[in-house]
């Protein structure tokens, strides 16, 4: 009944208490008046009134407690006492709060990433039924590949597991008309794409059925970002026509910022699939599907596999060994590597928090040993064991709340940084923030840590014995139980620090190997930039002339060594592939074609990238006669018998035969961790690509060349922009951004953990030093050398570390196994790395033991003994 009002009363408990005092006082005053009226003196009247009233304190308390819940009063008393008590030791409080803030801050920040990127539902209708579908060709070593358009159309016709199947294909678009012309990343999608996923345009409408038919694609959707930045968020843009690649197209809708994937796409167009113009062997579209209710992903995959086998029989030339793979859409958007990385980061942040907890528990225990007398006195004055425990837990909770508050500040800063770093490479990362669920987790963590690190000191205080604690001074032998507890905690802290340092060591080694991986070319001192010549102004001949002139202009620059052009550069994003077959005679296994990446390049590309020539020659300028150059890996695949390919012919797709004139070294093209893929080089004299990438090698800093490059282009064609100006190093760096961040974060966590571990062990050793000073003084008086005594004390510290190191290494191995998915060429039980980790921790344990131990050597036995 009206309990809530009692709790509200707590907020103005002072006023409530005063009102009760007034009411009781009134009663007494009335009584006094009456008694005096009967003739008593004021003094007599007062004592008589008090007697008649009874135990005023008791009744006042009872009345108050009826109005304000006792437990809140007690809690607020405890909190106030805790604040005073913590305020008396500011150094301890600061150390504990900072430690907790780092632990809670790191855990909260990483959790906010995990939640936003992985745990939050995708912005689709019923996302659990959406699947991502790839084609695979296991004999060719292809596990994940785009689908062939004709195969996709066959699936649409013949399968019954899906509500609908949709396709998309990345591209780009030149926007002109209003404002400066820009080139934006685009995505072409089939008409039912938005409808199938359940993505609602934030304005206007999505594509209508039929708008992806040939000749009807005169519509476009724009991203929220492009709409705001280029068109100022003008609502009247919907329904208006804009110039896209020189054609008029009507803007029909605005795509929300975070679709969950393809967030960098600004122009969304209908994908027109015209079966009469397609080749079944050309794999170029990405397929998504929505399963019918009740159809399992396994069933749907089985159906498509059956269809693939059927298509293989019908089209043996193009469909040999092509099968289908299917995963839930979330497994595609948040892939295995990202998940492993998130889990590793979450686990390491959690370990750091645990270490922080243990460290604070140890600090509290140390503090408790210097408060033994305080507790003794309070018990002697009547404070019960439970009351003392409650008081200590209140102190821990106040500490935890301060740490949690500071941790939230840490997390806010960290989240801002993580969002900036991750948004380029991780899906949905732009939405990372500290929202209510994250706050709730942070609050829960705070309370949990408070209880966790408060437990040990509270338990140890509850066992404080009044007599012994009052009789003894500070830190004597009776607290050996507490010392053992502290040793145990310090060893545990060291064990966890070992796990983290080992995790960081593995990632560091992996990252180092990633950095020193053989690329097959030399990225240093190379500048890249893209040029897209509009078809309207440049026929192929004019474009070839333009690139030749530009090459001459650039070669003449004082800062340029060599200049080349290519349809794509390593780590430039995207890939182009074709079947390449040898024509001389059928190889032993009967397989003629190899799926190979291809690049259209000028002769200057090879020296500029410093791709070594293995055999034959590179292209000649304006070379006629259809030459091609093979990567060494492709040459080996085509001629496994080791025959010299120079002078032999290959067929690329359905084109006429081409002659091999040279073989160059293999180049890593797509992902640093993958082995080089088979690659074929075609000369620009045969065909061009849009856009072409210009590469310039310079002896100095390639960035310096950027403006000269712009000027050279402007000199040839003032209207022609260049874009994506980046150094080759930057492209590679972007490719290793994930491992770099993982390594940095885990490394930072490990460093903090190691510091906390050292502080923890040093604290316990230094406590032992204080305790054992009289004993050591006696030993020294009896002739022990200072060095021997330091060694004795240090041995204690080292034993603690050793006790932590061994289980820590086991934990490290387990963490390493869990990390295997993000390790490159590093085994989790790599003896060299684990040995180095053990070495680092041994060095740390020496420091942790020596720092406090060396003090004991400077003891003057006489003074120390006199103090006793």
**7 near another protein (CB under 8 A):** no
Q: How far is the CB of 384 from another protein (least distance, A)?
A: 21
Distance of CA 819 to the CA centre of its chain: 14
Among 7, 18, 29, 644, binds another protein (CB under 8 A): 29
Q: How far is the CB of 18 from another protein (least distance, A)?
A: 12
* CA distance between the termini of the chain: 62
Helices in 54-148 by DSSP H: which ranges?
56-67, 70-88, 90-114
Q: Considering the complex, state which of residue 52 and residue 555 has its C-beta at the smaller distance from another protein.
A: 52
Among 10, 13, 27, 171, binds another protein (CB under 8 A): 27
Residue 176 has which token pair? 């002109």
Binding residues for another protein restricted to 736-775, rule: CB under 8 A: none
Query: Contact region for another protein (CB under 8 A) — 28-36, 89-97, 438-446, 775-783?
Result: 28-36
Give the bridge partners for 257, in sequence order: none
**300 near another protein (CB under 8 A):** no
The DSSP result for 468-517, as a single string, is HHHHS-SS-GGGHHHHHHHHHHHHHHHHHHHHHHHHHHHHHHHHHHHHTS
Q: Considering the complex, state which of residue 55 and residue 539 has its C-beta at the smaller distance from another protein.
A: 55
Per-residue interface string for the shown chain with another protein, residues 102-131, x marking contact by CB under 8 A: ------------------------------
Q: Considering the complex, state which of residue 67 and residue 430 has its C-beta at the smaller distance from another protein.
A: 67
Q: How far is the CB of 52 from another protein (least distance, A)?
A: 5
CA Rg value for the chain: 38
Q: What is the DSSP letter of 248?
A: E
What is the CB-side half-sphere exposure of residue 502 using CA atoms within 13 A? 32
Q: Considering the complex, state which of residue 26 and residue 723 has its C-beta at the smaller distance from another protein.
A: 26
Per DSSP bridges, beta strands 323-328 and 219-223 are unpaired
CA 198, CA 91: separation in Å to the nearest integer?
A: 56
Environment class of 42 (CB within 10 Å of its CB; exposed 0-12, middle 13-18, buried 19+): exposed
Q: How far is the CB of 201 from another protein (least distance, A)?
A: 57
Element (H, E) at 283: strand 283-291
Q: How far is the CB of 343 from another protein (least distance, A)?
A: 53
Among 2, 71, 91, 782, binds another protein (CB under 8 A): 2
55: three-class secondary structure by DSSP: coil
Among 8, 66, 795, 832, binds another protein (CB under 8 A): 66
Q: Considering the complex, state which of residue 30 and residue 321 has its C-beta at the smaller distance from another protein.
A: 30
Among 8, 30, 481, 835, binds another protein (CB under 8 A): 30
Per-residue interface string for the shown chain with another protein, residues 341-380, x marking contact by CB under 8 A: ----------------------------------------
Give the bridge partners for 526, in sequence order: 697
**1 near another protein (CB under 8 A):** yes
Q: How far is the CB of 23 from another protein (least distance, A)?
A: 5
What is the CB-side half-sphere exposure of residue 159 using CA atoms within 13 A? 28
Per-residue interface string for the shown chain with another protein, residues 35-64, x marking contact by CB under 8 A: -----------------xxxxx-xx--xx-
**24 near another protein (CB under 8 A):** yes
CA 678, CA 669: separation in Å to the nearest integer?
A: 10
CA 123, CA 197: separation in Å to the nearest integer?
A: 9
Q: Considering the complex, state which of residue 19 and residue 832 has its C-beta at the smaller distance from another protein.
A: 19
Q: Considering the complex, state which of residue 20 and residue 809 has its C-beta at the smaller distance from another protein.
A: 20
Q: Is there a contact between 658 and 703 (Cβ–Cβ < 8 Å)?
A: no
Distance of CA 392 to the CA centre of its chain: 37
Q: Tell me which residue of 219, 221, 159, 164 sits closest to 197, measured CA to CA.
A: 164
Q: Considering the complex, state which of residue 34 and residue 675 has its C-beta at the smaller distance from another protein.
A: 34
Q: Which CB contacts under 8 angstroms, 24+ apart, belong to 42-45?
A: none
Among 18, 22, 555, 586, binds another protein (CB under 8 A): 22
Residue 783 has which token pair? 């002739």
**6 near another protein (CB under 8 A):** yes
Q: How far is the CB of 25 from another protein (least distance, A)?
A: 10
Q: How far is the CB of 51 from another protein (least distance, A)?
A: 10
Query: Contact region for another protein (CB under 8 A) — 1-9, 78-86, 103-111, 261-269?
Result: 1-9
CA 478, CA 372: separation in Å to the nearest integer?
A: 11
Per-residue interface string for the shown chain with another protein, residues 142-161, x marking contact by CB under 8 A: --------------------
Q: Considering the complex, state which of residue 24 and residue 455 has its C-beta at the smaller distance from another protein.
A: 24
Q: List phi, psi (to 5°) of 591.
A: -90, 130
Show Cβ contacts of residue 852 under 8 Å, excluding neighbours closer than 6 positions.
Answer: 762, 763, 765, 766, 769, 793, 797
Binding residues for another protein restricted to 481-520, rule: CB under 8 A: none
Q: How far is the CB of 24 from another protein (least distance, A)?
A: 6
Q: How far is the CB of 398 from another protein (least distance, A)?
A: 31
Query: Contact region for another protein (CB under 8 A) — 22-30, 466-474, 480-488, 847-855?
Result: 22-30
Q: Tell me which residue of 338, 341, 334 sits closest to 743, measured CA to CA.
A: 341
Element (H, E) at 692: strand 692-697
CA 263, CA 187: separation in Å to the nearest integer?
A: 10
CA 401, CA 689: separation in Å to the nearest integer?
A: 61
Q: How far is the CB of 21 from another protein (least distance, A)?
A: 11
Q: How far is the CB of 42 from another protein (least distance, A)?
A: 17
Residue 107 has which token pair? 């855990």
Query: Contact region for another protein (CB under 8 A) — 14-22, 464-472, 716-724, 798-806?
Result: 14-22
Residues forming contacts to another protein in the complex (CB under 8 A) are 1-2, 6, 19-20, 22-24, 26-27, 29-31, 33, 52-56, 58-59, 62-63, 66-67
């Amino acid at each position: 009944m009206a309990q809530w009002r009692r709790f509200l009363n707590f907020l103005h408990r002072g006023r409530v208490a005063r009102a009760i005092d007034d009411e009781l006082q009134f009663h007494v005053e009335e009584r006094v008046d009456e008694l005096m009226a009967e003739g008593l003196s004021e003094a007599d009247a007062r004592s008589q009134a008090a007697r008649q009233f009874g135990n005023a304190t008791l009744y006042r308390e009872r009345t108050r407690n009826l109005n304000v819940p006792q437990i809140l009063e007690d809690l607020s008393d405890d909190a106030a006492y805790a604040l005073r008590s913590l305020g008396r030791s500011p150094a301890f409080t600061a150390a504990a709060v900072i430690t907790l803030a780092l632990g809670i801050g790191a855990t909260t920040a990483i959790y906010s990433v995990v939640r936003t990127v992985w745990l939050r539902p995708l912005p689709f209708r019923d996302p659990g039924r959406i699947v991502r579908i790839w084609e695979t060709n296991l004999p060719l070593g292809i596990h994940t590949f785009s689908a062939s358009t004709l195969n996709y159309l066959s699936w649409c016709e013949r399968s019954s597991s899906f509500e609908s199947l949709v396709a998309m294909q990345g591209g780009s678009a030149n926007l002109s008309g209003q404002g400066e012309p820009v080139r934006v990343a685009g995505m072409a999608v089939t008409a039912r794409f938005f409808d199938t996923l359940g993505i609602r345009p934030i304005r206007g409408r999505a594509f209508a059925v039929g708008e992806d038919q040939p000749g009807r694609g005169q519509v476009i959707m724009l991203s929220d970002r492009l709409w705001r930045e280029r068109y100022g968020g003008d609502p009247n843009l919907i329904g208006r026509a804009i110039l896209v690649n020189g054609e008029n197209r009507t803007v029909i809708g605005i795509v929300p910022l975070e679709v969950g994937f393809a967030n960098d796409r600004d122009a969304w167009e209908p994908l027109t699939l015209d079966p009469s113009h397609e080749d079944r062997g050309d794999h170029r579209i990405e397929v998504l599907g929505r399963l019918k209710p009740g159809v399992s992903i396994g069933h749907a995959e089985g159906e498509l596999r059956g269809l693939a086998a059927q298509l293989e029989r019908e089209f043996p030339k193009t469909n040999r060994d092509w099968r289908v793979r299917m995963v839930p859409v979330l497994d595609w958007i948040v892939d295995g590597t990202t998940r492993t990385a998130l889990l590793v980061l979450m686990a390491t942040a959690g370990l750091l928090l645990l270490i922080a907890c243990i460290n604070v528990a140890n600090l509290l225990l140390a503090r408790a040993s210097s408060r033994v007398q305080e507790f003794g006195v309070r018990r002697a004055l009547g404070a019960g064991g439970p009351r003392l425990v409650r008081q200590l837990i209140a102190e821990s909770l106040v500490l935890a709340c301060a740490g949690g508050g500071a941790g939230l500040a840490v997390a806010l800063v960290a989240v801002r940084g993580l969002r900036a770093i991750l948004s380029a490479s991780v899906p949905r990362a732009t939405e990372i923030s500290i929202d209510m669920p994250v706050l709730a987790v942070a609050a829960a963590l705070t309370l949990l840590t408070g209880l966790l690190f408060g437990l040990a000191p509270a338990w140890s205080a509850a066992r404080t014995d009044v007599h012994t604690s009052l009789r003894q001074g500070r830190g004597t032998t009776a607290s050996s139980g507490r010392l053992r507890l502290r040793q145990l905690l310090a060893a545990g802290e060291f064990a966890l620090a070992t796990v983290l340092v080992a995790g960081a060591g593995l990632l560091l080694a992996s990252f180092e190997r990633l950095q020193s991986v053989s690329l097959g070319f030399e990225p240093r001192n190379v500048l890249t930039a893209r040029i897209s010549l509009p078809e309207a102004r440049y026929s192929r001949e004019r474009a070839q002339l333009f690139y030749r002139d530009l090459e001459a202009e650039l070669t003449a620059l004082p800062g340029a060594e060599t200049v080349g052009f290519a349809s794509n550069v390593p780590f430039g994003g995207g890939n182009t592939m074709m079947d390449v077959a040898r024509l001389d005679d059928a190889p032993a296994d009967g397989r003629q074609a190899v799926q190979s990446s291809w690049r259209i390049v000028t002769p200057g590309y090879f020296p500029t990238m410093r791709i070594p020539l293995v055999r034959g020659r590179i292209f000649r300028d304006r070379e006629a006669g259809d030459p091609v150059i093979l990567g060494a890996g492709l040459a080996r695949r085509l001629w496994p018998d080791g025959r010299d390919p120079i002078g032999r012919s290959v067929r690329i797709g359905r084109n006429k035969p081409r002659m091999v004139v040279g073989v160059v070294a293999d180049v890593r093209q797509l992902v640093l961790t993958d082995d080089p893929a088979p690659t074929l080089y075609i000369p620009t004299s045969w065909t061009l690509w849009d856009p072409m990438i210009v590469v310039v090698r310079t002896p100095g800093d390639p960035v310096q060349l950027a403006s000269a490059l712009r000027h050279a282009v402007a000199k040839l064609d003032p209207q022609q922009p260049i874009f994506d100006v980046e150094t080759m190093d930057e492209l590679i760096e972007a490719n290793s951004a994930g491992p770099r961040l993982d390594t940095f974060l885990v490394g930072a966590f490990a460093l903090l953990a190691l510091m906390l571990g050292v502080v923890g062990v040093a604290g316990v050793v230094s406590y032992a030093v204080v305790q054992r000073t009289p004993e050591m003084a006696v030993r020294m008086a009896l002739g022990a050398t200072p060095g021997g005594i330091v060694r004795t004390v240090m041995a204690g510290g080292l034993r603690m570390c050793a006790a932590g190191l061994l289980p820590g290494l086991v934990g490290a191995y387990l963490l390493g196994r869990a990390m295997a998915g993000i390790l490159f060429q590093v085994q989790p039980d790599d003896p060299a790395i684990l040995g180095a980790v053990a070495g680092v921790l041994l060095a740390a344990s020496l420091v942790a033991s020596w720092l406090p131990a060396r003090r004991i050597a400077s003891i003057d036995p006489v003074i120390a003994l006199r103090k006793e």
